Structure 1
Amino acid sequence: MFQLFPPHRVAGSNASGTTVLRLGYVPLTDCAPLIVAQRMGFDERHGITLELHRQPSWAAVRDKLLSGELDAAHALYGLVYGVQLGLGGPQADMAVLMTLNRNGQAITLSAPLATALASGRPLREVLAAAPRRPVLAHTFPTGTHAMWLYYWLAAQGIHPLDDVKSVVIPPPQMNDALAAGVLDGFCAGEPWNAIAEAEGVGRTVIASGEIWPDHPEKVLACRRDFVSARPHAARALTMTLLDACCWLDDPAHRAEAAGWLSCPNCIGRARALILPRLLGDSRLPGAPLRFFGDGEVNYPYLSDGLWFLSQYRRWGLLGDLPNLQAIATAINQTTLYREAAAALGINVPDSDHRTSVLIDGVAWDGRAPERYADGFAIRATEHA
């Protein structure tokens, strides 16, 4: 049962004492903690006021974080690490305050491809028989959806950089592109996979929780100078979102939140399309969408960030850097998170690393990211 944590008043968030924080989000089911935090007044309990700003794409989230138009945002884990490294765009020192959710994404293929796959034919054979080189979309070049798509393809002997064409499209545009025949499939967050099925333009072929059970997904992200200049505000913001994530553990609360997410100023699609996968659709194998789990979900594990660095190396985005561990340690604000969790009485893990086994049976624990990346048979032939 949900139990409200003790309030914590923010103090000294900046020189002027302003406590209004501008948060960006992309209209996806897993932006729910931000919507809940504002609707339930959890921000006020911790002495801050949230202004929520819907964004049309992850590129817009990135640009407004960098310009200072947003103080923090619901963001792809990989977006934060990509910006930190200046991969494909401007560089800035970034911070991950907490993980907002695990799982809750999926890969959808066009109806003809999904039907062929359901007949038992291997994916490699299905794609090879397509009348053109398959075009598969994700949401950001260094983002989570690109990495789930690449990993899934490679696990089945398909090179994601050579055997298919990968393109970037904002999630709300994917189903129209699939219906028009511009795309053959996509990897994105919900509810866009559920909407594709409801509209008959595609079918979910795998949930992300099958690719990496309990994978990290969206994070609460900001520039690192925001943390250094306004540490109390950053801590209060983290506590506010922890309250919201905890509230979402109750299925009845998720049912209420689905109505808020369906509003025109958020996702703007029917509640009935959002709710089943928000609750954890039993028809989809794999770990369902999780927001809290007694705090297990939210810790910013260094090993989670290091996994993205390993995949950037695997796919030729990242060459030899002196200390990948140091990069993850600088980005993931484990000390601030532990302070916020302690103030709320939330348990934290003993280690900054966790062990996972992905769909191909390969274990990951964050200890040797370069060796892990170089151990895959399918990878970019040269590092950038």
Structure 2
Amino acid sequence: MSHTHIAGSDAPELPHLQLGFMPLSDCAPLVAAKWLDLGRPYGLNLTLRRQPSWAAIRDKLLSGELHAAQALYGLVYGVQLGLGGPQADMAILLNLNQNGQAISLSNSLAAEVQRCGSLQAALADRPAAAHFAHTFPTGTHAMWLYYWLAAQGLHPLRDVRSMALPPPLMPAALAAAELDGFCAGEPWHAVVAADGSGRTLVGSGEIWPDHPEKVLACRADFIRRYPNTARALTATLLAACRWLDDPEQRRSIAVELAQPAYLNLPSSVIAPRMLGDHGRTPLSAATRPLRFHGGGEVNFPYLSDGLWFLSQYRRWGMLPEAVDMQAVAAKVNQLALYREAADSLGIAIPASPLRRSILIDGIAWDGSDPAGYAAQFPIQA
């Protein structure tokens, strides 16, 4: 690990940091950074603070109670744009993971989907709209749910009812028949499978292979006030993500995540899906495992990733036409800061800030024309 940022003018201006996280398997980079004391070479001391909801993470980032936090990619962009809440200039320091989310259905709906052959057919004769939960209005899970429903010919804002709910509350709501399905991160789908109240139908990596998911986020003024600290924190979390690429380390972190301060669940529930076992037989060839580093491919804050969320906000009527999407992404995603941190660790930088993907409906995304991409879908707000 590099020791270039620990003394003199490179010393962190703010050595003691309060970091927020949600009780999800993909908070693992923050837990690993704390557990292994990876901030020490940079002069950082990290305190992790578990939060009850993504709204709480948003509010405590805005108030300054948290210096930085694990955050939904779309939460950061929602706050930057002032969608559904207060506006503040935000920053993404790095991507923490790709994939690792899912959509689970109640046993009765899953059985009906299997019998009918599609969700659209399964819901066709229902007297009332099905209820689905996601985790935050502009967040990743809302966008995966909306995209998946629309790809099957269902309008996510008209044909079903959707609501935001903290992920730890979702399994009980599904078991009580208050929900027909939900989109969230692990281990909450594993919990549903273990207690027999539902079934995982689709992994998020089937909706968008190697999609961006959680990020390390802070307010933009945190970087302006504490540039050395922000660089050191980025390098610390990069080192944690790199450590997590080894399957043996994932088994180790699953035991740590099981502790009451973090997920407070048996490691036997957490570990399998951390290691790529999604509890489905047979596993779809399209299922993509949770990724934390991939030689740096996971962590680079691609502009095209941010632009995808903006394109979906435009698609669902949340984003005014006048917004310059490229300018927003360039402001939020901290490419220069990331490059400095990655260089200090010898981690490769992708050649382009744009990447190409093909999503579940066969439509390609490369970030070159987000407005045109948004306008091409047959299902719109």
Calculate the TM-score normalised by the size of structure 1: 0.95
What does residue 371 of structure 2 align with? 370
Query: Which residues of 2 match residues 1-384 of structure 1 at below 5 A?
Result: 5-10=1-6, 17-281=13-277, 283=280, 284-285=283-284, 286-380=287-381
Q: 1:70 to 1:224 in 2, by over 3 A?
A: same
Q: Is the 8 A contact 2:14 2:229 kept in 1?
A: no
Q: Is the 8 A contact 2:67 2:222 kept in 1?
A: yes
Give the drift of 1:125: 0.9
Q: Is the 8 A contact 2:15 2:229 kept in 1?
A: yes
Q: Is the 8 A contact 1:105 1:190 kept in 2?
A: yes
Q: Is the 8 A contact 1:14 1:229 kept in 2?
A: no
- AA aligned opposite 1:132: A
Cα distance per residue 1:230-261 (max 9 Å; x no partner): 11100000000011001101111000000111
Q: Is the 8 A contact 1:65 1:222 kept in 2?
A: yes
- AA aligned opposite 1:216: P
Give the drift of 1:350: 1.2
Give the drift of 1:12: 7.3
- Quick check: 61-70 or 278-287, which moved more? 278-287
Q: 1:333 to 1:254 in 2, by over 3 A?
A: same
Q: 5+ unaligned residues in a row in structure 2: which ranges?
A: none
Q: Is the 8 A contact 1:137 1:187 kept in 2?
A: yes
Give the drift of 1:119: 3.0
Cα distance per residue 1:68-102 (max 9 Å; x no partner): 00000000000000000000000000000000000
Q: Is the 8 A contact 1:194 1:273 kept in 2?
A: yes
Q: Is the 8 A contact 2:14 2:226 kept in 1?
A: no
Q: 1:100 to 1:12 in 2, by over 3 A?
A: farther
- Quick check: 233-242 or 6-15, which moved more? 6-15
Give the drift of 1:18: 3.2
Please give the alpha-carbon distance, in whole angstroms, between the structure 2 residues aligned to 1:13 and 1:35: 28
Q: 1:206 to 1:194 in 2, by over 3 A?
A: same
What is the DSSP-based 3-state SS (H/G/I as helix, E as strand, rest coil) of the residue aligned with 1:219? strand
Q: Is the 8 A contact 1:13 1:19 kept in 2?
A: no
Give the drift of 1:120: 5.0
Please give the alpha-carbon distance, in whole angstroms, between the structure 2 residues aligned to 1:372 and 1:75: 25
- AA aligned opposite 2:77: Y
Please give the alpha-carbon distance, in whole angstroms, between the structure 1 residues aligned to 2:223 and 2:164: 30
Q: Is the 8 A contact 2:4 2:10 kept in 1?
A: no
Please give the alpha-carbon distance, in whole angstroms, between the structure 2 residues aligned to 1:352 and 1:254: 29
Q: 5+ unaligned residues in a row in structure 1: which ranges?
A: none
- Superposed CA RMSD: 1.5
Give the drift of 1:131: 4.2
Give the drift of 1:8: 3.9
Identity over aligned residues, as a percent? 61
Aligned residues between the structures: 376
